[in-house]
A and B are shown apart, each in its own frame.
Chain A
């Protein structure tokens, strides 16, 4: 069943939804990256909640003029207008009042959403309202998706993606260093507004599939996931698009493979799954890599400390140090140094002295910067340089016993 879904063999509707969700995932992932890097992730939440009054008002207008209240283009147009108004309110609040952005987000989100819910309730008491299915816009509803709906999503998503590509450089520059961008003559506020406008477009396009409450997840989780894997902003954009697209496709297929699985929430969960995998497994930035790094470092510190203690004839009390030294064959079970261990210890002490010379000598400034008390000196100096340093220290010294 799942394989049928993945290979798009579960019928017309499931295929439409899967293609739509994939396109939406890609454009949301790519657009969301800029929002995330500009540190305005939550703006998208306010924008998406601000779509609800527009959907309801558009429905009322359509019905009042005798049209079909469920016309998707009409409803999306309405949602775009009210989201844009919400966006402008938020922008105005942050720029012209003392309110910080988080407070402005909270105010716009709750007021617009509250107003939308009131309208929704009013619509449900209307005669035609009961069949409207407007509450589907809250969490998305893909059951009755039409070819025309999929086409709107595809065209909207592709257009957004194209626009993002065109203004990606200014957006990235503003996200990284807004003052420099302003000094270069870039209209920073207008670029920010354009970025949020694109986020709004993705939100509106995604209303049908994931709904306004969960769209924020599609905008934010993919870039956060992608950030684990790379230190380059252009790669973050691409990976985020891939993660979003894949989550959209897998989520849609999964939800089609069994009855009564909601598409939007499943997509979000799949996306979250990618996030958890990245959080754990990503090289360098992942949690496991960080733990591994820490443990390795701790071991190096313990071994070095142990060797220096041996060389100076001090007793070692730390159980971990003894265990590590034993495993390295430096000490015997009773804590006495082996022959090889003594040599190692003498070498460690000697390296310490060599480092002292290096750090005191201006000529070795660049090398001295590498000092961390752990490094073997051979890894940073040539044989000749070490010989020269040894001449300054004097002949070999025995290990104290």
Chain B
């Protein structure tokens, strides 16, 4: 484990931590007496797609939440584009896990997307035509334009996920953090989401995704970050996403057949 971390240390220096979209140093988060994330360093590469991978309960979501200040860490520092988090909030868009929302809440798809514009709207500003146009445009990008007036509970799981992505798009951020966007969604939604994420990447944005499907990692992502409470490996998919790193991240939990399959897929 130690060796792997050092290997990645090389590319870390090459990139330069100073202006990384998201740099985490010595982060420890604990619920009660058991650390969920322990002394983790992470340096997200600018303008690519990074997957955060690890077994259930490995601290993937917690890492993301701590990076955003949603949960408070015991120790560690987070910088965003080389600045303190609080100064850079406007440049970050977050898509939480779908389960965190009350689906009977009286709000329509378009209202959810308008929440992404709350910074432009301010406290007292009225929702104007240009705000609505922008929200509709974002819904259109995720293929949900016709559903703008639906109450969110009347959408399927995949459609809900796309609406939440549209809300993040409305923020027009530089760094996108998504927590398990592909969990429990249909194939059409997965395709739509990945297309949007790739277009963000092409526009020079940075995308970080908590991901659980090992089979699609090589297809979707440029970089991986393997975690199991501690950092296991970090780097380009070809280097850091190997049978060895997976074995140390998942321990015995991953069948050899699965690892073989993934190794073959990677060539």
Chain A residues close to B by CB (< 8 Å) = 37, 39, 165-167, 169-170, 173, 175-180, 182-185, 227, 230-233, 235-236, 365
Given contacts A169-B123, A173-B118, A185-B89, contact A179 B105 (CB under 8 A): no
Whether A176 and B96, one on each chain, are in contact in the complex, defined by CB atoms closer than 8 angstroms, is no
Closest to B92 in A: A183
A–B pairs, 18, beta carbons within 8 Å: A39-B102, A169-B123, A173-B115, A175-B105, A176-B101, A176-B102, A176-B115, A177-B96, A178-B100, A179-B65, A179-B100, A183-B68, A183-B92, A183-B177, A184-B89, A232-B108, A233-B105, A236-B106
Q: Which of B102-135 contact A (CB under 8 A)?
A: 102, 105-108, 111-112, 115, 118-119, 121, 123-124
Whether B86 and A185, one on each chain, are in contact in the complex, defined by CB atoms closer than 8 angstroms, is yes
Closest to A182 in B: B70
Whether A233 and B70, one on each chain, are in contact in the complex, defined by CB atoms closer than 8 angstroms, is no
Is residue B251 within 8 Å, beta carbon to beta carbon, of the partner chain? no
Q: Which residues of B contact A176 (CB under 8 A)?
A: 101-102, 105, 107, 112, 115
Is residue B151 within 8 Å, beta carbon to beta carbon, of the partner chain? yes
Is residue B82 within 8 Å, beta carbon to beta carbon, of the partner chain? no
Closest to A178 in B: B100
Sort A-B residue pairs by CB-CB distance and give the 7 closest, nearest first: A183-B94, A185-B89, A231-B151, A182-B70, A183-B68, A179-B96, A233-B106
Number of A-B contacts (CB under 8 A): 69
Closest to B105 in A: A176
Given contacts A166-B124, A169-B121, A183-B94, contact A232 B106 (CB under 8 A): yes
Is residue B69 within 8 Å, beta carbon to beta carbon, of the partner chain? yes
CB distance from B190 to the nearest CB of A (A): 14
Chain B residues close to A by CB (< 8 Å) = 65, 68-70, 86, 89, 92, 94, 96, 100-102, 105-108, 111-112, 115, 118-119, 121, 123-124, 151, 167, 177, 188
Whether B107 and A182, one on each chain, are in contact in the complex, defined by CB atoms closer than 8 angstroms, is no
CB distance from A96 to the nearest CB of B (A): 13
Residue of B69, B86, B118 touching A182 (CB-CB under 8 A): B69
Whether A180 and B102, one on each chain, are in contact in the complex, defined by CB atoms closer than 8 angstroms, is no
Closest to B69 in A: A182
* Complex CA distance for A113 and B105, rounded to whole angstroms: 33
Q: Which residues of B contact A37 (CB under 8 A)?
A: 105-106
Q: Among the interface residues A173, A175, A185, A236, which one has the most CB atoms of the partner chain B within 10 A?
A: A185
CB distance from B68 to the nearest CB of A (A): 4
Q: Which residues of B contact A183 (CB under 8 A)?
A: 68-70, 92, 94, 96, 177
Q: Which residues of B contact A39 (CB under 8 A)?
A: 102
* Complex CA distance for A177 and B124, rounded to whole angstroms: 20
Closest to B125 in A: A169
Q: Which residues of A contact B94 (CB under 8 A)?
A: 179-180, 183-184
* Complex CA distance for A166 and B92, rounded to whole angstroms: 25
Q: Which residues of A contact B124 (CB under 8 A)?
A: 165-166
Residue of A180, A232, A233 touching B96 (CB-CB under 8 A): A180
Whether A233 and B69, one on each chain, are in contact in the complex, defined by CB atoms closer than 8 angstroms, is no
CB distance from B220 to the nearest CB of A (A): 22
Closest to B122 in A: A169
* Complex CA distance for A280 and B70, rounded to whole angstroms: 41
Closest to A186 in B: B118
Closest to A369 in B: B156
Whether A231 and B107, one on each chain, are in contact in the complex, defined by CB atoms closer than 8 angstroms, is yes
* Complex CA distance for A367 and B137, rounded to whole angstroms: 25
Q: Among the interface residues A175, A184, A230, A233, which one has the most CB atoms of the partner chain B within 10 A?
A: A184
Whether B106 and A227, one on each chain, are in contact in the complex, defined by CB atoms closer than 8 angstroms, is yes
CB distance from A226 to the nearest CB of B (A): 9
* Complex CA distance for A230 and B151, rounded to whole angstroms: 10
CB distance from B141 to the nearest CB of A (A): 19
Q: Which residues of B contact A177 (CB under 8 A)?
A: 96, 100-101, 115
* Complex CA distance for A175 and B65, rounded to whole angstroms: 18
Q: Which residues of A contact B112 (CB under 8 A)?
A: 176
Whether B115 and A180, one on each chain, are in contact in the complex, defined by CB atoms closer than 8 angstroms, is yes
* Complex CA distance for A235 and B106, rounded to whole angstroms: 9
Whether B68 and A230, one on each chain, are in contact in the complex, defined by CB atoms closer than 8 angstroms, is no
* Complex CA distance for A332 and B134, rounded to whole angstroms: 59
* Sample of 5 more A-B contacts, CB < 8 Å, known A169-B121, A176-B112: A173-B115, A183-B68, A183-B70, A227-B106, A232-B106
Closest to A183 in B: B94
Residue of B68, B69, B108, B188 touching A231 (CB-CB under 8 A): B108
* Complex CA distance for A182 and B179, rounded to whole angstroms: 15
CB distance from A97 to the nearest CB of B (A): 13
Q: Which residues of A contact B111 (CB under 8 A)?
A: 232-233
* Complex CA distance for A230 and B108, rounded to whole angstroms: 11
CB distance from B50 to the nearest CB of A (A): 18
CB distance from B209 to the nearest CB of A (A): 15
* Complex CA distance for A232 and B188, rounded to whole angstroms: 28
Q: Which residues of A contact B65 (CB under 8 A)?
A: 179
Closest to A188 in B: B70
* Complex CA distance for A184 and B112, rounded to whole angstroms: 14
